[in-house]
Structure 1
């Protein structure tokens, strides 16, 4: 909680979370479960009424005989899964809170993987939001419900780094991959505006992961 309010001061106060306020701040973490915990904590302190969306899960069983489809995994088991590239089964949001796209929807309109938006209002099947970053900032868009599948393999991609004036880094669990710590620390415009949360046993130190062979 200390890290949350260090990066997002007065988050629970009405009308504090303006577009500029949200554009300038971000918290990074090495693990998805830590991100989920921070998201839950943040939305609980964000002012306003919670709106909840429940996902519709189904198993893809093309390799199963028709008569056996639907029997291999229960809805309860699927709902308990939390693949890293999918939103949670129970998505809780509030008007004015920040959200981020996990897929490319309409790149020409600025709706790309990683686009940050602010929720404007809710409907049954869409969310109206305002784009916060990029050349399409300030545009109002509608985010529909779509069918998503978790990524099954890593693919090459071009890297783009976005910098934030205020960054919090959750390192209670250490980074586990080459370059993670560097990328996290480099996403702020000033070292004076970085807040780092370490585990109780770390004694002001954290682990960095470097593969020398990739530096050659």
Structure 2
């Protein structure tokens, strides 16, 4: 993992202030759990003071009116602990200079869409200032507000709101979130197998050249290997 970090983010401590440094670099992984694990590791290495933002959760009024017992069953501690794809975590830790990804559409005409990557420039109590580093509005400074978010996942049996900044640290991102990105340096970390074979294609096609990609593949015992799941092995028969 240290080799992969050095490959994607060489001289991180010396070059992180360069406005273009994070624009075309990313580590990709299949699952949110792995993404968060590596992001926390890189955030710890990143210089500067941490600023912690804790969300506020509440059950939607219509849901509470429908079933008053939900208010007692789903305490704030339970709601705080829910980690849902597309929703920022209850505890969000940021530093000035860190790359982040927007998790919701806010101002589409200004480039603030779901999946837009930004670099933190200033941290305030109720708003975050950040500079866009992907898409058509690169280097534009925007203010990200503290907003109420509702999970879109239909498997969540209760409707609740989380008031938080719609951001996640994105030294590392999931393969799905990388769709549409054009990168010059990509590290692909396969701690577990990809869900779909199309995901591997998406990950490898994010990078502009072969020299710009490096993979780490682990087997079921956690050892480094050079094999991954391939469906149509006959495509390699004449290579």
1:190 matched to 2:191? The reply is no
Separation in 2, partners of 1:26, 1:47: 19
**Cα deviation digits, residues 95-149 of structure 1 (max 9, x gap):** 0110110111000000001111110111111100111122211111100011112
Higher relative contact order (CA 8 A, sep 6+): 2
Q: RMSD of the alignment, in Å?
A: 2.2
**Which structure 2 segments of 5+ residues have no match?**
156-177, 233-239
| 2:181 maps to which of 162, 169, 175 | 162
Aligned residues between the structures: 205
Note if contact 2:179-2:206 (Cα within 8 Å) is conserved in structure 1.
no
Instruction: Give the match for residue 75 of structure 1.
Output: 76
| 1:204 maps to which of 192, 216, 226 | 226
1:15 positional shift? 4.5
Summarize the alignment of residues 1-216 of structure 1 with structure 2, pairs less than 5 Å apart.
Answer: 1-2=1-2, 3-11=4-12, 13-60=13-60, 62-65=62-65, 67-68=68-69, 70-152=71-153, 161-199=180-218, 200-201=222-223, 203-208=225-230
3-state SS of paired residue (1:161): coil
The structure richer in strand per residue is 2
TM-score (norm 1): 0.87
Distance 1:5 1:60, change over 3 A: farther
1:44 positional shift? 0.6
Separation in 2, partners of 1:77, 1:153: 18
TM-score (norm 2): 0.79
